[in-house]
Amino acid sequence: MAAHKILIVEDEQVIREMIAFHLSRAGYETLEAADCRVARELLADKRPDLALIDWMLPDISGLELTRMLKRDKDYEDLAIIMLTARAGERDKISGLDGGADDYITKPFSPRELLARIQAVLRRSSSSDGEAVNAGVLELDKAGHRVLASGNEIKLGPTEFRLLRFLMTHPDRVYSRAQLLDRVWGANVYVEERTVDVHVRRLRKALSPGSANDYIQTVRGAGYRFSTRDDSSI
Ligand code: CA
């Protein structure tokens, strides 16, 4: 199973590096940002699973960033833990309801931080389940396995990520550009026809189980995953 990716948004370098040190020692992949601008770039480019966001940041407040992210459909899968300097701030933030999944008051021990992170990641991965089912397909997120009518389908890593994204966002049309952003990451300079190449490979891999019909081309718009037949295509 791939390591969870955690973004640390904290302007105080010593604290940020201390957190990064403990998280990488615990097996997480870490990303660091000292302000919201860099944080937004890393969020778009690297697609972390969780963001630790300090309340006091030099550009916009961590609370404001949290609110922006929680309103943004693009980050609906992102878990957020806010770091606050005083217990009083925590009450204030809770009252303001930035939408964070949890709050940690400084100073905290590495053990406490790790426990909170594990709890939040567990909650966010159980809310969407370890396995996704759609029609004859079953996708095991943790084991990186896909079954069609019970038979394992061999997929490359990009096809797996593409299928996982589509299966978890069914019945919605995504343009090639949107799929590049969501599956490949923003600012990854690949051409839009790359999406077509991987869709073709994915369909081919799924065709023995006839699940290839689930990946629908919506003319002039992009692709959609649906187990329903749709005559408008
Ligand atoms: Ca700070």
Examine the domain organization and report whether 9 and 123 are in the same domain.
yes
Phi and psi torsions of 33, nearest 5°: -140, 140
- Nearest Cα residue to 55 out of 93, 101, 109: 93
* Residue 1 pLDDT: 47
Do 116 and 135 sit in the same domain of this protein?
no
Same domain, 99 and 138: no
| Same domain as 71, residue 101 | yes
The pTM score is 0.64
The SS3 of residue 134 is strand
Domain closes at, from 91, 106, 127: 127
Within a domain: residue 210?
yes
Is residue 140 within 8 Å of 130, Cβ to Cβ?
A: yes
In a domain, 171, yes or no: yes
Query: Is the pLDDT confidence value at 24 over 80?
Result: yes
Share above pLDDT 70 across residues of the chain, in percent, rounded to a whole number: 86
Q: Of 167, 164, 171, nearest to 134 (Cα)? A: 167
Last residue of a domain, one of 95, 127, 159: 127
Q: Do residues 53 and 101 share a domain?
A: yes
Residues 121 and 137 in one domain: no
Q: 38 and 95: one domain?
A: yes
Range with lowest mean pLDDT among 15-19, 29-33, 139-143, 165-169: 139-143
Residue 129 predicted with pLDDT over 80: no
For residue 223, give the H/E element and its range: strand 222-225
Question: CATH code at 175?
Answer: 1.10.10.10
Residue 120 and residue 137 in one domain: no
- Report CA(9)–ligand 1 centroid distance (Å): 8
CATH number at residue 97: 3.40.50.2300
Ligand 1 center–CA 232 separation, angstroms: 52
Residue after which a domain boundary falls, among 73, 102, 127: 127
Q: Based on the fold, state whether residues 19 and 119 are members of the same structural domain.
A: yes
Q: What is the band of 32 on the pLDDT scale with cuts at 50, 70, 90?
A: very high
Q: How many domains does the chain have?
A: 2
Of residues 125 and 150, which shows the higher confidence score? 150
What is the whole-number distance in angstroms between the Cα of residue 175 and the centre of ligand 1? 38
Average pLDDT over residues 205-209: 86
Range of the domain at 31: 5-127
Q: What are phi and psi of 216, to 5 degrees?
A: -100, 135
Average pLDDT over residues 189-217: 90
User: Is residue 153, in this structure, part of any structural domain at all?
Assistant: yes
Residue 232 belongs to some domain of the structure: no
Q: How far is the CA of 57 from the centre of ligand 1 (A)?
A: 5
Q: Grade residue 123 by pLDDT with cuts at 50, 70 and 90.
A: confident
231: in domain: no
| CA 78–ligand 1 middle distance (angstroms) | 21
Instruction: Tell me the C-alpha distance between 9 and 6, whole Å.
Output: 10
Contact by Cβ (8 Å): 117, 81: yes
Looking at the structure, do residues 10 and 122 belong to the same domain, yes or no?
Answer: yes
Tell me: do 35 and 103 sit in the same domain: yes
Host H or E run for residue 202: helix 193-206
- The CA 131 to ligand 1 mean position distance, Å, reads 38
CA of 224 to the centre of ligand 1 (A): 42
**Does pLDDT of 231 surpass 60?**
no
Q: Which residues contact 129 (CB under 8 A, 6 or more apart)?
A: 141
- Cα 64–chain centre separation: 20
Compute, in angstroms, the gap from residue 83 CA to the centroid of ligand 1.
Answer: 9
| Confidence at residue 38, expressed as pLDDT on a 0 to 100 scale | 96
pLDDT at residue 107 in the model: 87
For residue 146, list its beta bridge partners. Answer: 139, 153
